[in-house]
Amino acid sequence: RRIYAQVTPKRWHAMAEVAKFAANAAQARHAQFMADVLTGKADRKQLLDGVRDRKLKDYVRLLGLYPLAKGAKCRADLIERYNVLQEYRRYARGLSAMTKPEALRSVDIGMQNLASTAGYADPLRLEWALEAEQVKKLAKGPISVTKDGVTVTLGLDDDAKPELTVERSGKQLKSIPPVVKKSPEIAELAEQAKHLKRQASRMRVSLETAMCRGDAFSGTELGQLCRHAILAPLLSRLVLVGEGIMGYPDKNGKALRDASGKLEPVKQNESLRIAHAHDLQSGGAWHDYQRECFQAERIQPFKQVFRELYVVSKQERRDGTVSQRYAGQQVHPKQALALWGQRGWSSRDGVWKTFHDADLTVAVSFDFGLGSPLDIEGLTIEGVVFQRRDEIKPLALADVPPRIFSEVMRDMDLVVSVAHRGDVDPEASASTVEMRASLLRETCRLLNLTNVRIKNSHALIDGRLGNYSVHLGSATVHRLPGGAVCIVAVPAQHRGRLFLPFADDDPRTAEVISKTILLARDTEIQDPSILEQLRA
């Protein structure tokens, strides 16, 4: 736009006419459309419809470059475009592994362009600012609408989740009656509730993404985020790390509270970020925060304190540039590519993922290559290699940022466990077993169970009626010595009965912990079918 003003519209138009002869017709039209978007001459409705209806990636990338409306309409224009891009992101997540990475990258570029046009430092700050504005009214209290004796109320529950309640004559209803459902006021409130639920989901994803990327924000910004109706309760359950300080946000973001309860003041210009498991380990406070999380019964929005951590092994340091941690593992191609796609990997021309902020690309190599006839027998993983985006030479594994290395290996462990050609139990991955071992140790400590010990992937229990082992992956129970013990878990019965310190629904983890506690107190078992097996 600065160049357009310097060249003047007349000379710009003359240059555009001449430029048509330097390319074919399609390229010339595309270049002209980009110029029209930048200068504000393009049809705004056409641009929005191209994203909403036609799902055009070029339009997605260009939407943020179109000049914002002037005056009072500026904010509404910004929010509308932001919502359109978020809807496209939801659509992109449902695409195949071949097209999903490019579509998601288009949204990222569109968000970066929109943030730059609106004057924000990065898309994350734009997202948090706009999401805060959309729940400003709700932060003051619940919103109610009454029609024909039916009262519909939109509010936030204790976990800051949007909640829509319906009442008639003091009696709570399960849903909005059809008679009043089409009322404009109630329909608008129901639509707002649906939008806020998506927003809350986006918040959790954005916080986890910010942790994985290492996005930093200042102490002043932390204070602003702690006043956000939906974001503040989520952020208060996450450990932040600053310049020599670590802890949960407290005092409206003016301090961090560590695992022992000590408060450390936060400076306004302090650089903060959401702590990764690597930060907790390197700070020497990982187990302290795990213990505190259990004692406080804190449910985190995603796995942070109990997140699986992978570090470069001694063998990998000796190998130099190729990680052969999963070499020789055979996986089902269809399942593996689907899992990689869900985690943001691309399967076009191999399996790879680019970390744009770190300027790194990671690629997985296979014996005889992807797409060969060996696909029928299964893909055999060979190695994992990291590279700088502008270099061909592989990067030494020791030089890969620990946070990125850990997240890549976490994805690899997931794929090898779930899509393994040998059909192993998907719950029995090394990372899952380690996480369950940590949870079980803290549970036994809180319940004062001294007859349980962890050995490799088993929980060994010294009971009164016998000795038992519970596999931390499959939850299979055996008597020692003896055969298997059949204890059938009731689906979904863990909800509300057993505490897990993260929001993910994990029934198998609950089953492992429940069976261990049950067998550790085997004298209290009253089920005759279980007692018959234990006394046999």
Q: Does residue 307 have a pLDDT over 70? A: yes
Select from 462, 426, 467 the least CA-distant residue to 444: 462
- Mean pLDDT, the chain, integer: 84
Q: Which of 21-35, 85-99, 267-281, 355-369 has the lowest mean pLDDT?
A: 21-35
pLDDT, position 247: 95
List helix spans (H) across 94-150.
Answer: 100-118, 123-134, 136-139
SS3 label, residue 421: coil
Q: Among residues 417, 444, 419, 442, which one has the least CA distance to residue 432? A: 417
**Which region among 6-10, 369-373, 532-536 has the lowest average model confidence (pLDDT)?**
369-373
User: DSSP of 138-193, one letter per residue?
Assistant: HHTS-EEEEETTEEEEEEE-TTS-EEEEEEETTEEESS--HHHHT-HHHHHHHHHH
Alpha helices, DSSP H, located in 275-428:
277-282, 286-295, 314-319, 333-342, 402-418
Arithmetic mean of pLDDT, 80-106: 88
Give 66's pLDDT tier (boundaries 50, 70, 90).
very high
Instruction: Determine the pLDDT at residue 85.
Output: 93
76-80, 132-136, 195-199 — which one is most confidently predicted on average? 76-80
Q: What is the pLDDT of residue 276?
A: 94
Q: How confident is the model at residue 373 (pLDDT cuts 50, 70, 90)?
A: low
Tell which wins on pLDDT, 133 or 355: 355
Please choose, from the candidates 74, 78, 209, the residue with its C-alpha nearest in 3D space to the C-alpha of residue 131: 78
What is the rounded distance in angstroms from the CA atom of residue 256 to the CA atom of residue 242? 9
Task: Give CA–CA dist 198/206, Å, rounded.
Answer: 12
Band of pLDDT at residue 209, cut at 50, 70 and 90:
confident
| Confidence at residue 482, expressed as pLDDT on a 0 to 100 scale | 63
pLDDT at 62: 92
Residue with tokens 């310049």: 243
- Plot region of 302 (φ>0 → left; ψ -120 to 50 → alpha; else → beta): beta
Q: How many CB atoms lie within 10 A of CB 295?
A: 12
% of the chain residues with pLDDT over 70:
91
**Which range has highest mean pLDDT (19-23, 90-94, 238-242, 298-302)?**
238-242
Buried b (16+ CB within 10 A) or exposed e, 99-128: ebbebbbbbebbbbbbbebbebeebbbbbb
pLDDT in tens, 141-190: 788 888 888 899 988 877 777 888 999 888 998 888 888 888 888 888 88
pLDDT above 50 for 291: yes
pLDDT, tens only, 381-417 = 889 999 998 788 999 999 999 999 999 998 998 888 7
Q: Identify the weakest region by mean pLDDT among 412-416, 423-427, 464-468.
A: 423-427
**Rounded to an integer, what distance in angstroms lies between the CA atom of residue 356 and that of residue 104?**
13
Give me the pLDDT at residue 511, please. 83
Residue 375: pLDDT band (50, 70, 90) is low
What would the mean pLDDT of 195-199 be, rounded to a whole number? 82
Mean pLDDT of 348-365: 89
Is the separation of the CB atoms in 332 and 419 below 8 Å?
yes
| pLDDT of the residue at 111 | 92
pLDDT at 249: 94
| Of 155, 192, 62, the residue nearest 116 (C-alpha) | 62
DSSP label of 400: S
Secondary element (H or E) of residue 274: strand 271-274
Q: How far apart are CA 80 and CA 193, in angstroms?
A: 17
Q: Which two tokens stand for residue 97?
A: 């592994």
Q: What are phi and psi of 521, to 5 degrees?
A: -115, 50
Measured distance CA(380)–CA(9) in Å, rounded: 59
Alpha helix ranges (H) inside 354-488: 402-418, 430-447
Q: Residue 272 is inside which H or E element, if any?
A: strand 271-274
What's the DSSP call for residue 353?
A: E
Taking residue 37's Cβ as centre, other Cβ atoms within 10 Å add up to: 23
The pLDDT, as a whole number, for residue 397 is 93
Q: Give the span between the Cα atoms of 321 and 233, in whole angstroms.
A: 42
- Provide the 10 A C-beta neighbour count for residue 296: 12
pLDDT score at 60: 93
Reading phi first (left if > 0) and then psi (alpha if -120 to 50, else beta), residue 160 is in left
Average pLDDT over residues 80-107: 88
Which amino acid type is present at position 214? G
Mean pLDDT of 94-119: 88
Cα gap 60→51, rounded to integer Å:
6
Residue 494 has pLDDT above 50, yes or no: no
Condensed to tens digits (0 to 9), the pLDDT of residues 230-245 reads: 888 889 999 999 988 9
State the pLDDT at residue 378.
76
Cα–Cα distance, 71 to 77 (Å, whole number)? 10
pLDDT band at 131 (very low <50, low <70, confident <90, very high): confident
Burial of 223 (0-12, 13-18, 19+ CB in 10 A): middle
From 135, 131, 259, select the one nearest 207 (Cα to Cα): 131
Amino acid 369: pLDDT: 60
Over residues 29-49, the mean pLDDT reads 86
The DSSP letter of residue 527 is -
